[in-house]
Structure 1
Amino acid sequence: MTNAAADPGGDAGTGDARQYVTFYVQNEMFAVPLAEVQEIIRMPEIVGVPKSPPSLQGLANLRGTVLSVTSLRRIFHFPDVPHDDSTRVVVIDQGAPVGFVVDRMAAVVTVDADRIEPAEAIGATIDTDLLRGMIKGVEGHAMIMILDPARLLSTEKPKGRRKGTSRVAAGSAGSRGTEEERLSDELQLVSFEVAGQEYALGIESVQEIVQVPDNVSRIPCTDAHVLGVMTLRNRLLPLVSLRAMFNLPDREIDERSKIVVVPLDEANSVGIVMDTVREVLRVRKDTVDPLPGMLGDGQGEIRSICRLNGGRRLVSILSADQLFRHDAVRSAVAVASGREESMAEATEGGRAAAVADEEEQFVVFRLGNEEYGAPIESVNEIVRVPEVLTRVPKTAAFIEGVVNLRGSVLPVIDQRRRFDLPELERNDRQRIMVFTINGVRTGFIVDSVLEVLKIARGTIRPTPSLSDEQARLIGRVANLESSKRMILLLDVGNLLDAAEMTAVVEAVH
């Protein structure tokens, strides 16, 4: 067992108390050390990657970084369910950021060391090799499983449930109806602290929670509550201080400070800086009361009060709608919008001045929902798919047939089949892209050819190594933030391995 597994808490806390982020998958609660969590985001747009492990949902753009996104449901062999407003991606730093999809967040908990036991001590619904340990008797839960992110990523085929452990899973399924009834009577809130007071926003109003960057661009001649702007996914995010909005004493931003990103509309968001984010609360609706009229001063930002622990803990629930109308927020958004327009004008000429040796040119085509690129110099030609492909007896299953291309026999491969995608009925948009691989001209059927595109080398990144075959076929990815596109770049020379090349040669002789 590794040191991390021997010490379930790792470096997640200090002294005898450790902090964990907890969440649900299939109504079972899991945890990871808070210190290893980089951020928590909503489900992003995903680009699927062929020949990758089944647990991988795909790649996403995380502020210019290519993020691999893995489904914990698939790792644990739980059935897939549609993503909803509660779905989150927990981003963990494993040398590079990796994301794990969870059903919903629960809380941040502080745990005494004596409540943590090795994973082997308790049976579980998943293989204990994927766990660091167990938390017992915290927050009303008999058992919380502590996941080991490194081990989740170390195998392409994670093991499923252990034999003889269906009792817990069956109990979860049997209680699903009761669980849904309970959830409908509850509110889910993200709570945070400002100047020693606890506030919360409905989780549906929180787009994501991110760290305060080292550098925030200050804007001269703006109000004190406007802290500046930062870049988030290639857009300027205005930052406002909740302390300043509520006329609370000023305080230096430190490593505990967090930015809660709240969407204003489809195009704009604002970042509200908090002293610290405490936890995700799930509270009964009957513990929430409207704010008494005599306390409703200001601009109505506080809409209600939540009573916890028998009234000893009061949480002020903020109204996202009223926050948007606050003068501070309007001012910050106006500043960011004006600066973004100025930056766009200033850089327009720079974009036009990009020189050829800083770019690569690709033929971009579509397969399924994804876009792929092949270096233009590797493409011999692009032709329509003929009405009839001649089948060749006793050839490999991946060879669709052959065609006569100006007197030469061209073997044709259905690239959908090569990438394990569902078959598609022949249509007018499909094309055959002809490559020369190891001296053999070979055609590959694609869904459609989109364009010839020049791509700046600065936007091209190595693809996370998800499987040996994927790494061989798709070694790079173009992350085009400005157009919100991610293009998987093929290594054409590796489209066929040695055995497949032999089969292609035999098909034409």
Structure 2
Amino acid sequence: MSTATVTRTPIPDDDLAAEADEDNTDYVTFDMADERYAFPMRRVQEIIRMPAVVKVPLGPPSLEGLANLRGRVLPVVSLRRCCDMSQTGHDETTRVIVVDGGVPLGFVVDRVASVISIDPSALEAADAVQSTVQSDVLVGVIKADDGDMTTVLDVDRLIGAQFARLAERGVRESSAAGRIPAEPDADAESDDTLELVSFAVEGQEYALPLDQVQEIVQAPESVSHVPNAGSRVLGVIDLRGRLLPVVSMRRVFGLPVTPLEPKNRIVVVSLEGGVVGVVMDTVREVLRVPHQLVAPLPSVVAGDGRKTEVESVCRLEDGKRLVSVLSVNRMFDSPEVRNEIADYQEGDAMMPQQQSATAGDDGRGDEELFVVFRLDDEEYAVDVDTVQEIIRVPEALIRVPKSFSFVEGLVNLRGTVLPVVDLRTRLGLERVERDERQRIVVLIIGGVRTGFIVDSVAEVARVGRNVLEPAPELSAEQARLVSRVANLPDQQRMLLLVQVDQLLAAEQAAEAAELCEAVCDEALAGV
């Protein structure tokens, strides 16, 4: 084996100390499991510290997650797993080498050593190399004068072996960014149901019509108080660059105001001339209630104090659960309250959005509206138009033998049999014990209502289309299910956008429909 002089240049943290020359004789060296390896310098874009990552379900085993790299989504993978090495924890020396693989890809390594320049004759071909890693990802070995050996890895083969979808990715942004078409059944049903967002104030359950709610956000730690503000206005908050006046629902109802807590939510509603945020104790569910279960408020109580804010009452669970439906206009009916709110509106900034809403569209403009939920500490989202309702998980489900492993059972939803899927299991995550925070998100797939159990529902979020981008295609199933990501670096968040119509394959949706029909037939036979 020939030897040649190797020149080493240390690399400062988070920076490259040199660039590739025309002969491609520069390499970035790094350590894994007490052995030294290298990538050709021309393929290395930069070196960064280990970032916070968002874990992606159904990806390759080597995938650590997705990170935000100056506004771009960066897949981060464990090079140890790619090379079938034992795993180790990350520490202060852990680094991510960002390489050019058609799209940026970060490889996690134990430690970056240096940049070296070699004589081309110092590179020994891979077929003469014995190594602990797979030989098909080797380019060769560099042997220095002092006897040290550095194994050069093939970037393209590493990417191709683990991420065939990423390596073959073409330009499909137009189709990936397209909105999910509304289900015909959902449109047909909307005339017969009332869509509501329910919330609690002082232990009582109320609701607002969904078409009056722009979005739901978590309450901040504090609200900027405004001197001489009215009795109902708590102050203002910054909502993506605009000032949002915030009103306390407790003050609207004449109740004592409590300090803001993490469970509190701000429901952003439309008013003539702008928008206002209303602080609720908690937001509970999204409901689609048949009109026959909704009754106007009895006239005997319609004029009694705060009850004038209630326009109707929903009778749920055979009348055991009553939900008072509020009217935004009645809540802020008095000129004094409207003037208080108007004082804190940025009128010119708000008007274009309001005018758009009154012109006959959905008022979203260059934004999309998503229901955000959590699984295993990560945030996922589905288009709000695909969500039928959000309900609590019942104490018991009707078990279904010989069904898919992710089917939890069936539930009776106001006389309709609803198949329920454990979304954790569907996405390859570990099951957890049931708790009070879990919810069932009801979607329509293949014409069948299907409920998906999630760890918790976080909010209804309005996201600008400019921050939506195609998700890296790391595996075939992941690419189908998680088609896009909402990259929100200012909030230090990344939402994984789930393609609803891909949650169940055609045969799985058909089986769910058959299960529902069979249960209904059995119930009718027993009558």
Structure 1 position 82 matched with structure 2 position 89: yes
State whether residues 129 and 140 of structure 2, in contact with CA within 8 Å, keep that contact through their aligned partners in structure 1: no
Q: Describe the SS at the equivalent of 1:13.
A: coil
Q: Paired residue for 2:138?
A: 131
Instruction: Select 2:505's aligned residue among 480, 497, 501.
Output: 497
Structure 1 position 96 matched with structure 2 position 114: no
Q: Describe the SS at the equivalent of 2:443.
A: strand
Structure 1 position 369 matched with structure 2 position 377: yes
Q: Normalising by structure 2, report the TM-score.
A: 0.56
Q: How does 1:302-381 map to 2 (within 5 A)?
A: 356-381=364-389
Structure 1 position 384 matched with structure 2 position 388: no
Q: How does 1:209-288 map to 2 (within 5 A)?
A: none
* Distance in 1 of aligned mates of 2:400 and 2:424: 19
* Distance in 2 of aligned mates of 1:107 and 1:453: 45
Q: Paired residue for 2:467?
A: 459
Q: Paired residue for 1:156?
A: 162
Q: Paired residue for 1:147?
A: 153
* Distance in 2 of aligned mates of 1:463 and 1:366: 18
Q: Paired residue for 1:61?
A: 68
Q: In terms of mean alpha carbon deviation, does 401-410 or 499-508 score higher? A: 499-508
State whether residues 481 and 498 of structure 2, in contact with CA within 8 Å, keep that contact through their aligned partners in structure 1: yes
Q: Paired residue for 1:417?
A: 425
- Deviation track 1:304-360 (CA, whole Å, cap 9, x = no partner) reads xxxxxxxxxxxxxxxxxxxxxxxxxxxxxxxxxxxxxxxxxxx99979977722000
* Distance in 2 of aligned mates of 1:122 and 1:28: 14
Task: Describe the shift of the 1:452–1:475 C-alpha distance in structure 2 as closer, same or farther (beyond 3 A).
Answer: same
Q: Paired residue for 2:22?
A: 14
* Distance in 2 of aligned mates of 1:65 and 1:351: 29
Letter of the 2:122 counterpart: R
- Deviation track 1:145-170 (CA, whole Å, cap 9, x = no partner) reads 11111111112389xxxxxxxxxxxx
Task: Describe the shift of the 1:506–1:350 C-alpha distance in structure 2 as closer, same or farther (beyond 3 A).
Answer: same
* Distance in 2 of aligned mates of 1:63 and 1:350: 28
* Distance in 2 of aligned mates of 1:488 and 1:157: 19
**Deviation of 1:498 (Å):** 2.1
* Distance in 1 of aligned mates of 2:347 and 2:375: 32
Instruction: Select 1:406's aligned residue among 404, 414, 421.
Output: 414
Structure 1 position 441 matched with structure 2 position 449: yes
* Distance in 2 of aligned mates of 1:348 and 1:54: 51
Q: Describe the SS at the equivalent of 2:478.
A: helix
Q: Describe the SS at the equivalent of 1:356.
A: coil
**Deviation of 1:505 (Å):** 2.2
Task: Describe the shift of the 1:50–1:21 C-alpha distance in structure 2 as closer, same or farther (beyond 3 A).
Answer: same
Q: Paired residue for 1:450?
A: 458
State whether residues 395 and 507 of structure 1, in contact with CA within 8 Å, keep that contact through their aligned partners in structure 2: no
Letter of the 1:116 counterpart: L
State whether residues 20 and 32 of structure 1, in contact with CA within 8 Å, keep that contact through their aligned partners in structure 2: yes
State whether residues 85 and 133 of structure 2, in contact with CA within 8 Å, keep that contact through their aligned partners in structure 1: no
* Distance in 2 of aligned mates of 1:63 and 1:352: 32
Instruction: Select 1:484's aligned residue among 492, 499, 506.
Output: 492
* Distance in 1 of aligned mates of 2:157 and 2:131: 16
State whether residues 101 and 159 of structure 2, in contact with CA within 8 Å, keep that contact through their aligned partners in structure 1: no
* Distance in 2 of aligned mates of 1:57 and 1:351: 41
* Distance in 1 of aligned mates of 2:383 and 2:507: 24
* Distance in 1 of aligned mates of 2:159 and 2:348: 43
Task: Describe the shift of the 1:112–1:364 C-alpha distance in structure 2 as closer, same or farther (beyond 3 A).
Answer: same
- Deviation track 1:185-205 (CA, whole Å, cap 9, x = no partner) reads xxxxxxxxxxxxxxxxxxxxx
* Distance in 2 of aligned mates of 1:393 and 1:94: 46
* Distance in 2 of aligned mates of 1:353 and 1:92: 43
- Deviation track 1:445-465 (CA, whole Å, cap 9, x = no partner) reads 000000000000000010010
Task: Describe the shift of the 1:13–1:69 C-alpha distance in structure 2 as closer, same or farther (beyond 3 A).
Answer: same
State whether residues 51 and 420 of structure 1, in contact with CA within 8 Å, keep that contact through their aligned partners in structure 2: yes
Letter of the 1:470 counterpart: Q
Aligned positions, number: 309
Task: Describe the shift of the 1:428–1:348 C-alpha distance in structure 2 as closer, same or farther (beyond 3 A).
Answer: farther
* Distance in 1 of aligned mates of 2:73 and 2:347: 25
- Deviation track 1:236-278 (CA, whole Å, cap 9, x = no partner) reads xxxxxxxxxxxxxxxxxxxxxxxxxxxxxxxxxxxxxxxxxxx
State whether residues 119 and 132 of structure 1, in contact with CA within 8 Å, keep that contact through their aligned partners in structure 2: yes
State whether residues 396 and 503 of structure 1, in contact with CA within 8 Å, keep that contact through their aligned partners in structure 2: no
Q: In terms of mean alpha carbon deviation, does 374-383 or 114-123 score higher? A: 114-123
* Distance in 1 of aligned mates of 2:131 and 2:33: 14
Q: Describe the SS at the equivalent of 1:155.
A: helix
* Distance in 1 of aligned mates of 2:27 and 2:85: 23
- Deviation track 1:288-310 (CA, whole Å, cap 9, x = no partner) reads xxxxxxxxxxxxxxxxxxxxxxx
Instruction: Select 2:124's aligned residue among 109, 113, 117.
Output: 117
Q: Paired residue for 2:437?
A: 429
Letter of the 2:369 counterpart: Q
Q: Describe the SS at the equivalent of 2:56.
A: coil
State whether residues 460 and 479 of structure 1, in contact with CA within 8 Å, keep that contact through their aligned partners in structure 2: yes
Q: Describe the SS at the equivalent of 2:513.
A: helix
Structure 1 position 106 matched with structure 2 position 113: yes
Letter of the 1:35 counterpart: R
Q: Paired residue for 1:40?
A: 47
Q: In terms of mean alpha carbon deviation, does 479-488 or 391-400 score higher? A: 391-400
* Distance in 2 of aligned mates of 1:146 and 1:449: 47
Q: Describe the SS at the equivalent of 1:428.
A: coil
Q: In terms of mean alpha carbon deviation, does 473-482 or 76-85 score higher? A: 76-85
State whether residues 362 and 455 of structure 1, in contact with CA within 8 Å, keep that contact through their aligned partners in structure 2: yes
* Distance in 2 of aligned mates of 1:506 and 1:141: 69
Q: Normalising by structure 1, report the TM-score.
A: 0.58
**Deviation of 1:409 (Å):** 0.6
* Distance in 1 of aligned mates of 2:459 and 2:350: 20
Letter of the 2:48 counterpart: I
State whether residues 163 and 475 of structure 2, in contact with CA within 8 Å, keep that contact through their aligned partners in structure 1: no
* Runs of 5+ unmatched residues, structure 2: 1-18, 165-345, 354-362, 519-527
State whether residues 463 and 475 of structure 1, in contact with CA within 8 Å, keep that contact through their aligned partners in structure 2: yes
* Distance in 2 of aligned mates of 1:457 and 1:373: 14
Q: Describe the SS at the equivalent of 2:162.
A: coil
Letter of the 2:157 counterpart: R
